[in-house]
Amino acid sequence: MALNPRVKVRVKTAKGRTKSSAAWLRRQLNDPFVKEAKKLGYRSRAAFKIIEIDKAFRIFKKGAKIADIGAAPGGWSEIAVAKVGAGNVAAIDILDMKPIPGVAFAQHDFNDPEAAEFIKSQLNSAADAVICDIAPNTTGVSSLDHLQIMALVEQAYAFALEVLNIGGTFVCKVRQGGTETKLLAEMKKRFSRVSHFKPDSSRKESSETYVVAQGFKKT
């Protein structure tokens, strides 16, 4: 998905604003996906990422049961419910999230035992796909950032194994370089196909990519 770049906006470093925050604001103001998300009424630019992932891997089918973990502010959930229908999406996050019609939401850490029960009860079954766009705050130290994101990926993966239907799909954000060898090998045992995908809507300078594991198999 490609958008035409607009006129770039310069940001003066205001008193009290750090260089990093000014750089973030500059990226936001000049990001065509941020502008397009506002134009279309999406909650975040992340909506375009899941649209691209769905186009490439066809994870959203009418009536499919979707679990969105780490869902706030809801960019992925609003696309999911539009694709699969009201009542078929259950979302959780440690942060609160404004309601989305047709999406069941609870403020849970997905490591809490109640989280999996909430997903299953709201979907009235296991999930056909578990989607996760969560990521920790970066430190700027690449080795530490990788360890933090991998810890989250492993936790999200364990959650997916608990709530997925046979044949289901797991989508999760990782950092470039892919998942660690051990986890990737484990995924390949439990899923028929494991792919890495970087949407066009991901910022070019970002190290994020997504692992898409399809065809969940019970052991």
C-alpha 5/C-alpha 203 separation (Å) is 13
The answer to whether the CB of 72 falls within 8 A of the CB of 97 is yes
Residue 173 annotated as catalytic? yes
Cis peptide leading into residue 73 (ω within 30°) = yes
Give the active site residue among 173, 189, 198, 217. 173
* Surface-to-core class of residue 2, CB atoms within 10 Å of its CB (0-12 exposed, 13-18 middle, 19+ buried): exposed
> Which among 105, 96, 57, 56 has a CA at the least distance from the CA of 78?
105
Identify the sign of the CA torsion 98, 103, 105, 109.
negative
* Terminal Cα distance for the chain, rounded: 37
CA angle 47, 59, 128 (to 5 degrees): 115
What ranges make up the beta strands (E) of 10-133? 66-69, 89-93, 103-107, 127-132
What are the residues whose beta carbons fall under 8 Å from the beta carbon of 194, sequence distance 6 or more?
184, 187, 188, 211, 212, 213, 214
C-alpha 86/C-alpha 101 separation (Å) is 7
Instruction: Provide the annotated active-site residues.
Output: 173
